[in-house]
Amino acid sequence: MPEYDFENDVALVTGAASGIGAETARQFAAAGASVVIGDVDEDNGEDVVSEIEADGGDAVFVTTDVTEMADLETMVETAVDEFGGLDYAINNAGVAGPADPAGDIDENTWEQVIDINLNGVWRSMAAELDVLTENDGGVIVNMASVMGQVGMENSASYVASKHGVLGVTKTAAWEYADEDIRINAVCPGFVETQLLDEAGITTNEDVREWIAGKHSQDRLAQPEEISEAVLWLCSDAASFTNGEGLTVDSAYTAV
Ligand code: NAI
Protein backbone atom coordinates (compact mmCIF):
# COMPACT_ATOMS: atom_id res chain seq x y z
CA MET A 1 0.00 0.00 0.00
CA PRO A 2 1.38 3.47 -0.79
CA GLU A 3 1.99 5.70 2.20
CA TYR A 4 0.48 9.16 1.97
CA ASP A 5 1.42 12.14 4.08
CA PHE A 6 -1.64 14.23 4.89
CA GLU A 7 -0.14 15.59 8.13
CA ASN A 8 -1.67 18.99 9.09
CA ASP A 9 -4.39 18.54 6.44
CA VAL A 10 -8.16 18.36 7.01
CA ALA A 11 -10.49 15.92 5.26
CA LEU A 12 -14.24 15.58 5.46
CA VAL A 13 -16.14 12.47 4.39
CA THR A 14 -19.92 12.18 4.07
CA GLY A 15 -21.52 8.79 4.64
CA ALA A 16 -18.50 7.92 6.78
CA ALA A 17 -20.32 5.91 9.46
CA SER A 18 -20.07 2.76 7.34
CA GLY A 19 -18.47 0.99 4.40
CA ILE A 20 -16.32 2.91 1.92
CA GLY A 21 -16.72 6.22 3.76
CA ALA A 22 -15.67 4.80 7.15
CA GLU A 23 -12.63 3.13 5.58
CA THR A 24 -11.71 6.36 3.76
CA ALA A 25 -11.93 8.29 7.04
CA ARG A 26 -9.67 5.70 8.74
CA GLN A 27 -7.11 5.84 5.91
CA PHE A 28 -7.02 9.66 5.95
CA ALA A 29 -6.50 9.63 9.72
CA ALA A 30 -3.76 6.98 9.43
CA ALA A 31 -2.01 9.28 6.93
CA GLY A 32 -2.10 12.15 9.43
CA ALA A 33 -5.18 14.15 8.40
CA SER A 34 -7.79 15.43 10.85
CA VAL A 35 -11.12 14.04 9.73
CA VAL A 36 -14.71 15.29 9.90
CA ILE A 37 -17.20 12.44 9.69
CA GLY A 38 -20.64 13.44 8.42
CA ASP A 39 -23.51 10.95 8.45
CA VAL A 40 -27.12 10.49 9.54
CA ASP A 41 -26.02 7.43 11.57
CA GLU A 42 -24.74 8.94 14.82
CA ASP A 43 -23.97 5.66 16.67
CA ASN A 44 -21.77 4.15 13.96
CA GLY A 45 -20.28 7.57 13.15
CA GLU A 46 -19.18 8.03 16.77
CA ASP A 47 -17.73 4.48 16.71
CA VAL A 48 -15.55 5.41 13.72
CA VAL A 49 -14.36 8.52 15.62
CA SER A 50 -13.49 6.34 18.65
CA GLU A 51 -11.54 3.88 16.48
CA ILE A 52 -9.57 6.70 14.87
CA GLU A 53 -8.83 8.31 18.25
CA ALA A 54 -7.79 4.93 19.72
CA ASP A 55 -5.22 4.71 16.91
CA GLY A 56 -3.90 8.18 17.80
CA GLY A 57 -5.78 10.10 15.08
CA ASP A 58 -7.97 13.16 15.18
CA ALA A 59 -11.65 13.00 14.15
CA VAL A 60 -15.02 14.52 14.94
CA PHE A 61 -18.54 13.37 14.08
CA VAL A 62 -21.19 15.81 12.83
CA THR A 63 -24.77 14.64 12.33
CA THR A 64 -25.22 15.40 8.65
CA ASP A 65 -28.08 14.64 6.31
CA VAL A 66 -26.92 15.41 2.77
CA THR A 67 -30.49 16.38 1.84
CA GLU A 68 -30.20 19.35 4.25
CA MET A 69 -28.06 22.31 3.15
CA ALA A 70 -27.90 23.64 6.73
CA ASP A 71 -26.36 20.33 7.95
CA LEU A 72 -23.71 20.49 5.24
CA GLU A 73 -22.84 24.07 6.12
CA THR A 74 -22.45 23.02 9.77
CA MET A 75 -20.24 20.10 8.69
CA VAL A 76 -17.94 22.43 6.73
CA GLU A 77 -17.92 25.02 9.55
CA THR A 78 -16.89 22.23 11.94
CA ALA A 79 -13.87 21.45 9.75
CA VAL A 80 -12.84 25.11 9.89
CA ASP A 81 -13.63 25.69 13.59
CA GLU A 82 -12.20 22.42 14.95
CA PHE A 83 -9.29 21.82 12.61
CA GLY A 84 -8.58 25.19 10.98
CA GLY A 85 -9.69 24.63 7.38
CA LEU A 86 -10.58 22.12 4.70
CA ASP A 87 -8.30 20.42 2.15
CA TYR A 88 -10.17 17.30 0.95
CA ALA A 89 -13.91 16.73 0.68
CA ILE A 90 -15.19 13.24 -0.09
CA ASN A 91 -18.86 13.27 -1.05
CA ASN A 92 -19.66 9.64 -0.53
CA ALA A 93 -23.08 9.31 1.18
CA GLY A 94 -25.49 7.21 -0.85
CA VAL A 95 -28.33 4.69 -0.84
CA ALA A 96 -29.09 1.71 -3.11
CA GLY A 97 -32.61 2.63 -4.14
CA PRO A 98 -35.45 0.32 -5.15
CA ALA A 99 -35.05 -2.88 -7.19
CA ASP A 100 -37.93 -2.20 -9.58
CA PRO A 101 -38.30 -1.60 -13.32
CA ALA A 102 -38.26 2.13 -14.17
CA GLY A 103 -42.00 2.34 -14.75
CA ASP A 104 -42.82 0.81 -11.36
CA ILE A 105 -40.79 3.19 -9.19
CA ASP A 106 -43.07 5.54 -7.29
CA GLU A 107 -42.32 9.23 -7.58
CA ASN A 108 -41.42 9.77 -3.90
CA THR A 109 -38.91 6.92 -3.95
CA TRP A 110 -37.36 8.19 -7.20
CA GLU A 111 -37.00 11.66 -5.72
CA GLN A 112 -35.48 10.35 -2.47
CA VAL A 113 -32.74 8.43 -4.30
CA ILE A 114 -31.92 11.42 -6.53
CA ASP A 115 -32.05 13.79 -3.55
CA ILE A 116 -29.48 11.78 -1.55
CA ASN A 117 -27.20 10.39 -4.28
CA LEU A 118 -27.14 13.28 -6.76
CA ASN A 119 -28.52 16.44 -5.17
CA GLY A 120 -26.62 15.48 -1.99
CA VAL A 121 -23.33 15.53 -3.89
CA TRP A 122 -24.15 18.88 -5.51
CA ARG A 123 -25.27 20.36 -2.15
CA SER A 124 -22.11 19.10 -0.45
CA MET A 125 -19.96 20.65 -3.17
CA ALA A 126 -21.81 23.96 -2.89
CA ALA A 127 -21.08 24.05 0.86
CA GLU A 128 -17.44 22.98 0.44
CA LEU A 129 -16.49 25.17 -2.52
CA ASP A 130 -16.98 28.41 -0.57
CA VAL A 131 -14.31 27.36 1.91
CA LEU A 132 -12.02 25.73 -0.65
CA THR A 133 -12.02 28.85 -2.86
CA GLU A 134 -11.28 31.08 0.17
CA ASN A 135 -8.38 28.77 1.13
CA ASP A 136 -5.52 27.76 -1.14
CA GLY A 137 -7.59 25.25 -3.11
CA GLY A 138 -8.06 21.55 -2.40
CA VAL A 139 -9.51 18.36 -3.79
CA ILE A 140 -13.08 17.07 -4.03
CA VAL A 141 -13.81 13.39 -4.72
CA ASN A 142 -17.41 12.39 -5.44
CA MET A 143 -18.49 8.76 -5.09
CA ALA A 144 -20.07 7.65 -8.35
CA SER A 145 -20.19 3.98 -9.45
CA VAL A 146 -19.87 1.79 -12.51
CA MET A 147 -23.61 2.57 -12.55
CA GLY A 148 -22.54 6.08 -13.57
CA GLN A 149 -21.16 4.56 -16.77
CA VAL A 150 -23.51 1.74 -17.71
CA GLY A 151 -27.09 0.78 -16.95
CA MET A 152 -28.44 -2.12 -14.89
CA GLU A 153 -31.90 -3.61 -14.92
CA ASN A 154 -34.12 -2.67 -11.97
CA SER A 155 -31.81 0.13 -10.83
CA ALA A 156 -32.98 3.16 -12.84
CA SER A 157 -33.00 5.72 -10.00
CA TYR A 158 -29.56 4.65 -8.73
CA VAL A 159 -28.12 4.54 -12.27
CA ALA A 160 -29.57 7.97 -13.10
CA SER A 161 -28.20 9.45 -9.87
CA LYS A 162 -24.69 8.12 -10.50
CA HIS A 163 -24.64 9.30 -14.14
CA GLY A 164 -25.56 12.71 -12.71
CA VAL A 165 -22.67 12.59 -10.22
CA LEU A 166 -20.24 12.16 -13.11
CA GLY A 167 -21.90 15.06 -14.96
CA VAL A 168 -21.53 17.53 -12.11
CA THR A 169 -17.97 16.30 -11.45
CA LYS A 170 -16.79 16.82 -15.04
CA THR A 171 -18.42 20.26 -15.24
CA ALA A 172 -17.23 21.60 -11.88
CA ALA A 173 -13.70 20.37 -12.61
CA TRP A 174 -13.51 23.02 -15.36
CA GLU A 175 -15.24 25.68 -13.30
CA TYR A 176 -12.84 25.55 -10.33
CA ALA A 177 -9.49 24.55 -11.88
CA ASP A 178 -8.36 28.20 -11.80
CA GLU A 179 -8.95 28.20 -8.03
CA ASP A 180 -6.51 25.29 -7.67
CA ILE A 181 -9.33 22.88 -6.86
CA ARG A 182 -9.33 19.45 -8.52
CA ILE A 183 -12.68 17.64 -8.69
CA ASN A 184 -12.84 13.93 -9.54
CA ALA A 185 -15.06 10.93 -9.01
CA VAL A 186 -14.49 7.25 -8.28
CA CYS A 187 -16.56 4.58 -10.03
CA PRO A 188 -16.36 1.36 -8.02
CA GLY A 189 -17.66 -2.01 -9.07
CA PHE A 190 -19.62 -3.87 -6.38
CA VAL A 191 -18.14 -3.47 -2.90
CA GLU A 192 -18.75 -5.60 0.19
CA THR A 193 -20.69 -3.13 2.39
CA GLN A 194 -24.01 -2.73 4.18
CA LEU A 195 -25.42 -1.10 1.02
CA LEU A 196 -25.25 -4.46 -0.79
CA ASP A 197 -26.83 -6.20 2.22
CA GLU A 198 -29.70 -3.71 2.03
CA ALA A 199 -29.98 -4.28 -1.73
CA GLY A 200 -30.28 -8.06 -1.09
CA ILE A 201 -27.08 -8.83 -3.02
CA THR A 202 -24.76 -10.07 -0.27
CA THR A 203 -27.59 -11.69 1.66
CA ASN A 204 -28.44 -14.12 -1.18
CA GLU A 205 -25.63 -16.49 -2.19
CA ASP A 206 -26.92 -16.97 -5.78
CA VAL A 207 -27.25 -13.24 -6.40
CA ARG A 208 -23.87 -12.62 -4.79
CA GLU A 209 -22.16 -15.17 -7.06
CA TRP A 210 -23.87 -13.75 -10.14
CA ILE A 211 -22.71 -10.24 -9.28
CA ALA A 212 -19.20 -11.41 -8.36
CA GLY A 213 -18.98 -13.10 -11.77
CA LYS A 214 -19.41 -9.74 -13.51
CA HIS A 215 -15.93 -8.78 -12.19
CA SER A 216 -12.84 -10.31 -13.85
CA GLN A 217 -11.47 -11.43 -10.47
CA ASP A 218 -14.76 -13.16 -9.70
CA ARG A 219 -15.26 -11.41 -6.37
CA LEU A 220 -16.57 -8.21 -4.82
CA ALA A 221 -14.22 -5.39 -3.81
CA GLN A 222 -13.34 -4.62 -0.21
CA PRO A 223 -13.93 -1.01 0.96
CA GLU A 224 -10.18 -0.36 1.36
CA GLU A 225 -9.60 -1.09 -2.34
CA ILE A 226 -11.85 1.89 -3.13
CA SER A 227 -10.49 4.19 -0.39
CA GLU A 228 -7.00 3.71 -1.82
CA ALA A 229 -8.22 5.31 -5.07
CA VAL A 230 -9.79 8.19 -3.14
CA LEU A 231 -6.55 8.93 -1.28
CA TRP A 232 -4.53 8.72 -4.49
CA LEU A 233 -6.85 11.28 -6.14
CA CYS A 234 -6.31 13.61 -3.15
CA SER A 235 -2.54 13.21 -3.22
CA ASP A 236 -0.04 15.23 -5.23
CA ALA A 237 0.59 12.06 -7.27
CA ALA A 238 -2.73 12.91 -9.00
CA SER A 239 -1.81 16.58 -9.59
CA PHE A 240 -2.83 16.47 -13.31
CA THR A 241 -5.96 14.37 -12.79
CA ASN A 242 -9.11 16.48 -12.96
CA GLY A 243 -12.68 15.77 -14.08
CA GLU A 244 -11.95 12.02 -14.03
CA GLY A 245 -14.38 9.22 -13.20
CA LEU A 246 -11.76 6.75 -11.98
CA THR A 247 -13.04 3.22 -12.53
CA VAL A 248 -12.09 0.65 -9.89
CA ASP A 249 -14.13 -2.30 -11.08
CA SER A 250 -12.03 -5.37 -11.98
CA ALA A 251 -13.05 -4.91 -15.64
CA TYR A 252 -16.82 -4.86 -14.94
CA THR A 253 -17.22 -2.15 -17.60
CA ALA A 254 -14.44 -3.46 -19.89
CA VAL A 255 -16.65 -5.95 -21.76
P1 NAI B 1 -22.87 1.97 3.20
O2 NAI B 1 -24.33 1.73 3.32
O3 NAI B 1 -21.94 1.07 3.94
O4 NAI B 1 -22.54 3.48 3.58
C5 NAI B 1 -23.37 4.55 3.16
C6 NAI B 1 -23.40 5.57 4.28
O7 NAI B 1 -24.17 6.69 3.81
C8 NAI B 1 -24.08 5.06 5.56
O9 NAI B 1 -23.27 5.30 6.68
C10 NAI B 1 -25.39 5.85 5.61
O11 NAI B 1 -25.82 6.10 6.94
C12 NAI B 1 -24.99 7.12 4.88
N13 NAI B 1 -26.13 7.87 4.40
C14 NAI B 1 -27.25 7.40 3.79
N15 NAI B 1 -28.11 8.42 3.54
C16 NAI B 1 -27.52 9.55 4.01
C17 NAI B 1 -27.90 10.91 4.05
N18 NAI B 1 -29.09 11.32 3.58
N19 NAI B 1 -27.03 11.80 4.58
C20 NAI B 1 -25.84 11.39 5.09
N21 NAI B 1 -25.44 10.11 5.10
C22 NAI B 1 -26.26 9.20 4.56
O23 NAI B 1 -22.58 1.90 1.65
P24 NAI B 1 -21.23 2.05 0.79
O25 NAI B 1 -21.23 0.92 -0.14
O26 NAI B 1 -20.06 2.30 1.63
O27 NAI B 1 -21.62 3.35 -0.07
C28 NAI B 1 -20.85 4.53 -0.10
C29 NAI B 1 -20.98 5.14 -1.47
O30 NAI B 1 -20.39 4.26 -2.43
C31 NAI B 1 -22.42 5.36 -1.94
O32 NAI B 1 -22.50 6.60 -2.62
C33 NAI B 1 -22.64 4.22 -2.92
O34 NAI B 1 -23.62 4.53 -3.88
C35 NAI B 1 -21.26 4.10 -3.52
N36 NAI B 1 -20.99 2.82 -4.17
C37 NAI B 1 -21.15 1.65 -3.49
C38 NAI B 1 -20.94 0.46 -4.14
C39 NAI B 1 -21.13 -0.86 -3.46
O40 NAI B 1 -21.18 -1.89 -4.16
N41 NAI B 1 -21.22 -0.94 -2.15
C42 NAI B 1 -20.52 0.42 -5.55
C43 NAI B 1 -20.35 1.72 -6.15
C44 NAI B 1 -20.59 2.87 -5.47
**5-63 pLDDT per residue, tens:** 999 999 999 999 999 999 999 999 999 999 999 999 999 999 999 999 999 999 999 99
Average pLDDT on 67-91 reads: 98
Best residue among 12, 13, 20 to mutate for probing ligand 1's pocket (most ligand atoms within 8 Å of CB) is 20
Q: How far is the CA of 195 from the centre of ligand 1 (A)?
A: 6
Predicted TM-score (pTM) of this structure: 0.98
Domain contains 217: no
Domain contains 3: no
Protein residue closest via CA to atom 37 of ligand 1: 191
Structural contact between residues 32 and 6, judged by C-beta atoms closer than 8 angstroms: yes
Residue 88 known to be catalytic = no
Q: How far is the CA of 39 from the centre of ligand 1 (A)?
A: 10
Question: Which pLDDT score, from 0 to 100, does residue 1 have?
Answer: 63
Task: Kindly report the average pLDDT of the chain as a whole number.
Answer: 97
Q: How far is the CA of 178 from the centre of ligand 1 (A)?
A: 31
Domain contains 83: yes
Does residue 196 have its Cβ closer than 6 Å to ligand 1? yes
Domain contains 237: yes
Domain contains 43: yes
Domain contains 37: yes
Q: Which domain holds residue 23?
A: 10-194+222-247
Percent of the chain with pLDDT over 70: 99
Protein residue closest via CA to atom 36 of ligand 1: 145
Kindly report the CATH number assigned to the domain that includes residue 115: 3.40.50.720
Domain contains 174: yes
Domain contains 24: yes
Does residue 21 have its Cβ closer than 6 Å to ligand 1? yes
Given the DSSP bridges, would you call strands 138-143 and 88-91 parallel, antiparallel or unpaired? Answer: parallel
SS3 content of the chain, % helix, strand, coil (to 5): 50, 15, 35
Query: 148-184: b or e for each residue (b if 16 or more CB lie within 10 Å)?
Result: bbeeeeebbbbbbbbbbbbbbbbebbeebeeeebbbb
- Dihedral of the alpha carbons of 132, 225, 60, 241, in degrees to the nearest 10: -10
Question: Distance between CA atoms of 102 and 176, rounded to whole angstroms?
Answer: 35
List, for residues 166-205, the tens digit of each pLDDT value: 999 999 999 999 999 999 999 999 999 999 999 999 999 9
**How many folded domains does the chain comprise?**
1
